[in-house]
Chain A
Amino acid sequence: MNIIVVGLSHKTAAVEIREKVAFAPTQMEKPLRALVELPDITEAVIVSTCNRVELYATTNDIAGGMARLKRFLADYHGLSLETLEQHLYAHHGEAAIRHVFRVASSLDSMVVGEPQILGQIKTAYGYAAEFKSSGIILNRFLHKAFSVAKRVRTETRIASSAVSVAFAAVELAKKIFGDLSDKTVMLIGAGEMCELAAKHFLNSGVRGVMVTNRTFERAVKLAEEFDGKAVNFEELFEHLHKADIILSSTGAPHFIIGPKDVEEVIRRRRNKPMFFIDIAVPRDIDPKVNDVANVYLYTVDDLNGIVQSNLEQRSKEAEKAEAIVDQEIGQFFKWLSSLEVTPTIVALRSKFDEIRRAELEKTLAGWKDLSPDGQKRLEALTNAMMNKLLHPPTTLLKKAGQGGRTGLYVDALRQLFDLQTEAPAEEDLGELEE
């Protein structure tokens, strides 16, 4: 039995293509049932997110199974296979396992380390379990993928740092103030980045927002949006001491806040810390402000620098994560191979033994004057011959199973000796080490 993966992602297809092949989460029953009814496909799971659409399946016929999945994806969405094919990737064997482990661990995500993908795969698996399209192998496979993702998350710091400017600002504020719930944010001027950062601060639970702008009407409008308070620009310094976090992005050609102003404000605040974030270019806040005690000034370049180094750190952590994935692939593949190897060995042995017994019985029936001792010897002789003959192929199969190249041998043996193997029942399967 082989695991195959067919799909497309943000790396191979633009959003115009991805949206055409997406599956609606409310209507998963129909495609899942259709998939397992395809010839050669025994189990199936559909993962459909805004960044990827992937089909995971098990099949006896790798090439045929992958072709059927591709055809299914095109037909189901009414697209021509020719246009779709160039965006599709298909994996089998070890590559398929690696792909799914990497996706679940968020190593294949647009923003490496983003946490949503694991939940999305769990939901996808939930549908497959609900509509019984997944069985022994995919169940094990996906549970393994979840545990790999969990290991990656706990053993590497792949998801532990902010990778957007707004989040970096919030994290810095938390390192200065700890709890943000009694802190006030002040917006000076307006701008997309400024408003985005303000939204992040509100989501992180700050108490309130003050807004000021040279055009008071704009300040009022923005203040309404954030459920905050508008302040006259001329009265900025009468209100500045009430703010803990200041986001500034005016279009002023020169500094609007200098160290003298801030010293005065800090005195009024009785040295309570202040965090200035200067998003404006040219800058609004004199860099000397950072030298005032208990004041921390970061410019948009500083924040970008933090994001950049966090991204670099993530890619370093991603290397550790890849090593974890490698380890786990080996383990899972061993289990998967043992699924085929063990029944084949059993069938081969019983076939040989059957022949041996039949021939032995025939011979003994016509050999009346053979002593019981002679019978025993004959029995032992045939048994030893059989074991000697079976030893090399058995060891080879077991070894091949560990290396993951069993398909060829198993097929050859089955055909050469006309073996009939049944799919093993779940309780007969070896335990997969977690």
Chain B
Amino acid sequence: MNALLFNVTLGIYFLATVTYLAYLVKPRDSLGRTSHWLISIGFLVHCAFTVDRYVEAGHTPITNLHEALSFFGLALVGTFIAFERRYKVFIIGSFVTPLAFVLMVVSSLFPSAITPLNPTLMSKWLAVHTTLAFLGYASFALAFGAGIMYLIQEHFLKSRKLGAMYQKLPSLEMLDEINYRCLTFGFPLLTFAIISGAIWAETAWGTYWSWDPKETWSLITWFVYAALLHGRLTTGWRGKRAAILAIIGFCILLFTFLGVNLLMPGLHSYK
């Protein structure tokens, strides 16, 4: 049942990726709407998968890479749908849906068996800490997508190459605003994720901060986004620079999420 739900989600995300990429080539509104419905249905199935797994495992399904990647995908798609409804720009999906699909594919490569949780970690903080962290990741992933779109559109406008893709991409100002909104949404989430993690660490291990690689890199990520937010608010970093920083920030974040776990053993390693 659980595997079936996962595969259905994977299948629908694949279809949505195809239609969103087709939308990039052919700007039919009907194609955009179809894609939007597909990804929404995929999201619901994905929710069902996650809930089903939660019930089976007895804790938030985020304790191995299979679950964590899937959870990231869920957070990303959910955040994306909210933004798409708000800004009515289907084309963001052409950049975000493939990312969600790839997350699911990578997730499917890892063993899906439920890993028993270390009893010291069994706590309501698991759900709080990880949900906050992954919603924050999802916002930054959207900012990353908007950043890439900004760089492409800005290149078209500067070089005066106004092709079919230029026509379809939204205005620079809107992309910059999406970037900013994602940042103001994601930064507090990341902040609270780190704080809740520290509290949880204190209850589980008796210390707030142990300079575990994940903690260190999370802090680095936090500083990058803090710098970007600060630059935006005080000295007017916007446009191209903000887009580039959002992209760099997300690369560091991906390293924090995956690289640290795979390369540096520590308390946060997925088993």
A178 CA to B167 CA, complexed, in Å: 13
Find residues 261-308 in chain A having any chain B CB closer than 8 Å to their own CB. Answer: 269-273, 290, 293-294, 296, 298, 302, 305-306
Q: Residue B208 at the A interface, CB < 8 A? A: no
**8 Å CB contact of A272 from B157, B160, B236:** B236
**8 Å CB contact of B153 from A175, A177, A269, A309:** A175
A contact residues around B125 at 8 Å (CB): none
A contact residues around B255 at 8 Å (CB): none
Name which of B46-54, B169-177, B197-205 contacts chain A: B169-177
Distance of B253 from chain A, by nearest CB (Å): 24
Do A273 and B172 form a contact, CB below 8 Å, given A175-B157, A296-B158?
yes
A273 CA to B173 CA, complexed, in Å: 9
Do A271 and B157 form a contact, CB below 8 Å, given A175-B166, A178-B174?
no
Whether A293 lies near B171 (C-beta < 8 A) is: no
Find residues 167-197 in chain B having any chain A CB closer than 8 Å to their own CB. Answer: 167, 170-174
- Interface majority SS (helix, strand, loop, mixed), chain B: helix
Q: Residue B241 at the A interface, CB < 8 A? A: yes
Whether A176 lies near B240 (C-beta < 8 A) is: no
**8 Å CB contact of B171 from A178, A269, A272, A305:** A178
A contact residues around B162 at 8 Å (CB): 306, 309
Q: Residue B238 at the A interface, CB < 8 A? A: yes
Q: Residue B237 at the A interface, CB < 8 A? A: yes
A202 CA to B234 CA, complexed, in Å: 32
Whether A294 lies near B174 (C-beta < 8 A) is: no
Chain B residues with a Cβ closer than 8 Å to the other chain, count = 19
Residue-by-residue, is A156-178 near B (CB-CB < 8 Å gives 1, otherwise 0)? 00001100000000001011111
Residue-by-residue, is A176-194 near B (CB-CB < 8 Å gives 1, otherwise 0)? 1111000000000000000
Chain A residues with a Cβ closer than 8 Å to the other chain, count = 23
Whether A179 lies near B173 (C-beta < 8 A) is: yes
Whether A296 lies near B157 (C-beta < 8 A) is: yes
Q: Residue B235 at the A interface, CB < 8 A? A: yes
Whether A176 lies near B158 (C-beta < 8 A) is: no
Whether B239 lies near A273 (C-beta < 8 A) is: yes
Do A302 and B239 form a contact, CB below 8 Å, given A175-B172, A177-B171, A178-B170?
no
Known contacts A290-B158, A306-B160; 13 further A-B pairs (Cβ under 8 A): A175-B153, A175-B171, A177-B173, A178-B170, A178-B173, A179-B173, A270-B236, A271-B238, A294-B238, A294-B239, A305-B160, A306-B162, A309-B162
Task: Give me the interface of B with A, judged by CB distance under 8 Å.
Answer: 153, 157-158, 160, 162, 166-167, 170-174, 235-241
A-B contacts, 18 listed (Cβ < 8 Å):
A160-B167, A161-B167, A172-B157, A176-B157, A176-B171, A176-B172, A269-B236, A270-B235, A271-B236, A271-B237, A271-B238, A271-B241, A272-B238, A273-B172, A293-B241, A294-B240, A296-B157, A298-B160
Task: Give me the interface of A with B, judged by CB distance under 8 Å.
Answer: 160-161, 172, 174-179, 269-273, 290, 293-294, 296, 298, 302, 305-306, 309
